[in-house]
Amino acid sequence: MLQKIIGIIFLITINTSLFAQHHFTVEVSDLVPDKGSVYLGLYNKKGGFLKEDVAFANAKVKVAGNKVSYIFKNLPVGEYAVAVYQDVNNNGKCDRNMIGYPTEGFGFSKNYRPKLSAPAFDDVKIAVKQSTKASIALIGN
């Protein structure tokens, strides 16, 4: 009887940890103060990384001050990458110059600083096994 009870407790513990939902807080700093909105894309796979329509979740936060925070709630355990940009002129996109480099502030999880191209998913992924926090300082503002 005791073995059955221990077995049931073990199964409940495993099932609870597999289906636990966690929060991922993203704080974005170095914004142009009080201008536009910050767009956040949360990705959970390599395929389609940085494509808006493939993101696991998207968010938009109005800028008040020089930093914003957003919480992606109820995420399953996994690996996630975040890409953000500040849409200073409120035109709904990240403006770019003639060669495709963003002219509005942008950033990635792990504060990855691209050299010649955008990062790969593996460069910026963060393991979420419990509630997690990431800070991103924008580039280009």
In a domain, 93, yes or no: yes
In a domain, 99, yes or no: yes
Q: Is 25 helix (H, G, I), strand (E, B) or coil?
A: strand
Digit-by-digit pLDDT tens for the chain (141 residues) are: 555 555 444 444 444 445 568 999 999 999 999 999 999 999 999 999 998 889 999 999 999 999 999 999 999 999 999 999 999 999 999 999 998 889 999 999 999 999 888 999 999 999 999 999 999 999 987
Contact 15, 125 (CB under 8 A): no
pLDDT at 117: 87
pLDDT at 107: 97
Token pair, residue 33, equals 């103060």
Handedness of CA 88, 89, 94, 97 (dihedral sign): negative
The answer to whether the pTM exceeds 0.75 is yes
Q: How far apart are CA 66 and CA 137, in angstroms?
A: 11
Residue range of the domain that includes 122: 21-137
Contact 10, 117 (CB under 8 A): no
In a domain, 51, yes or no: yes
Q: What is the domain-level CATH number for residue 33?
A: 2.60.40.10
pLDDT at 29: 97
Token pair, residue 129, equals 């096994």
The DSSP symbol for 54 reads G
pLDDT at 122: 97
pLDDT at 93: 92
pLDDT at 12: 47
Domain count across the chain: 1
In a domain, 7, yes or no: no
Q: How far apart are CA 135 and CA 115, in angstroms?
A: 20
Q: Which residues contact residue 134 at a Cβ distance below 8 angstroms, ignoring those fewer than 6 apart?
A: 24, 25, 26, 27, 82, 109, 110, 126
In a domain, 8, yes or no: no
In a domain, 77, yes or no: yes
Q: How far apart are CA 75 and CA 82, in angstroms?
A: 14
In a domain, 12, yes or no: no
